[in-house]
Amino acid sequence: MNSNLPISQPGRAIIGKASGKTSIFMGKAVGTFLIAILSAVLAIVGYKLFEGNSQQNGNFNNNNNAATPVVSSVGNPDFVPAAANVTPAVVHIKTLYNVNQTSRNPIYELFGMPQQSTPARGSGSGVLISGDGYIVTNNHVIDRASGIEVVLPDRRTFEAKLIGTDPSTDLALLKVEASDLPVVPLGDSDKVQVGEWVLAVGYPLSLNSTVTAGIVSAKGRSIGILNRPGQGGYVDPAQVANTAIESFIQTDAAINPGNSGGALVNTSGQLIGINTAIASQTGSYAGYGFAIPVNLMQKVVGDIRKYGQVRRGFLGVNFPVPAVEDQMLRARGIDPGEVSGVYIMGVQPGSGAEKAGLKEGDIIQGIDDIEVNTSAELSERIARYYPGDKVELAILRDGKQRKATVTLQGEEEETVTEGAAKGLEARLGATFAPINDRMKQRYGLSEGVYVTKIQPGGFFDSAGIPEGTVIARVNGRPVNSLADISKSLAASRSGMVRLDGITPDGTAFVFNFPLGA
């Protein structure tokens, strides 16, 4: 059984009525509120559940040195050296799951997928990054597995130990007890250019090691797929805050289920990304795949090895949904065609950004002399820093270029003052009140707030959220007051926000969108 799950199309949210029936809610501008901007269905690609075993075979020469790009006599790139260099170090990952971890999955029920009644196995890919057995893969490939087996292309098999995971980037680090293993040389994802040739290497569709070629189609893509229920098993939204960091490399190299955790390399055979997701209406390759940049991977893996967990700095700014940003800029007399950067719609009280003097309306155009154009790029850049690090921001304020040095904070939550909570209402363009007993009984809820008033032209109005909408959870946390909303938003260090609620007609919904970093 394939665990790839579709997510929403622009302008739509895949939702379910309280009665359990499936329905589709169309807001007047819900598409502006969804981080998923593709018209195709998006799916996590690497995780394939199946019954029984499929034998993996392959013999390759070990070569740990990066290959030199080769051009054939007719002027076309020659991928043979890079493929020969990389395939020995891309492994097949097999996982085993207990019955009680895959049974009674409400996400499967929502999409009409059959329930598991027997122990299940999973299949994915991984990349050897050290000769002593450290392997990088996707978190969703090994999530909640009771056993992890690694098969090398030369047929050697190892039991793998899970060193650590980072759901916010969908990365995991494994270790096998071995030495003198082949490795994939690390490249520099910052130097990747749109249009350059790349290879995707992995174990798709339970096949042997497979290499496909394509080009880099885009960089800095955020597709709203991480920290979603159903990746490798159901996760209760109440137990997981949405802290996803997404700034994918997009490629048209063929990537299929089973490729997750595999390598995306350049024509020199250097690792530039970890294959993670696809855009598809069928769950298989349909044109575009997405990979985690290797530079972000190095930070995550380095933290796991050194600290046992990932440590990240927190900037403390909020920014709008990309589709609404142009509207906000024009309303302030700014031509979005002439100005690039990330528009700040709010600064979190007590944050490093506030202390450095950043204000609503500032446009962040660079970090430490590196240009940023999208919220995804901003979040990914900030995620590379540690609490206490200082970053220099290039900002545009009132048409003038400025510099601001910000000291990033850590993950600890701060006390939310009444003034700060009221400021949140202004940023969201809505006012809130706790749900009453009648609402609790009608919707079957024990907690939540509802929207009492929408400010015309505000954030909620632009997103098509009507008055009377009930919000039960923000970033997976129950909310009963405006202060609870503010605390939950502060917990999203990447700026990704998830709302779980019910529309006035009783339809349940889930919205994912970016709000800050």
- Binding positions for substrate are 140, 170, 258-260
Query: In whole angstroms, how far apart are CA 82 and each of 71, 79, 200, 264, 497?
Result: 12, 5, 11, 11, 40
Helix, strand, or coil (residue 383): coil
Annotation marks residue 140 as catalytic: yes
Residue 51 CA neighbour count, 13 Å, CB half: 6
Residue 389 designated active-site: no
Q: Alpha carbon of 267 to those of 67, 68, 87, 102: distances in Å?
A: 8, 8, 13, 40
Distances (CA, A) of 456 to 199, 222, 464, 469: 48, 28, 11, 16
**Full 3-state SS string of 284-329:** CCCCEEEEEEHHHHHHHHHHHHHHCCCCCCECCEECCCHHHHHHHH
Q: Are 27 and 465 in contact (CB under 8 A)?
A: yes
Contacts of 364 (CB under 8 A, 6+ apart): 317, 341, 342, 344, 372, 378, 393, 394, 395
Q: Locate 331 and state its tokens.
A: 């309303």
- CB atoms under 10 Å from CB of 165, counted, come to 22
DSSP letter for each residue of 455-517:
-TTSHHHHHTPPTT-EEEEETTEE-SSHHHHHHHHHT-TTSEEEEEEE-TTSBEEEEEEE-B-
Distance CA 357, CA 366 (A): 16
Residues making up the annotated binding site are 140, 170, 258-260
Q: Which of 8, 140, 247, 500 is catalytic?
A: 140
* 170 is a catalytic site residue: yes
Burial 497-509 (b: 16+ CB within 10 A, else e): bbbbbbbeeebbb
Distance CA 408, CA 314 (A): 5
Residues in the chain: 517
- Look-up of token digits 């805050």: 241
Supply the residues annotated as catalytic. 140, 170, 260
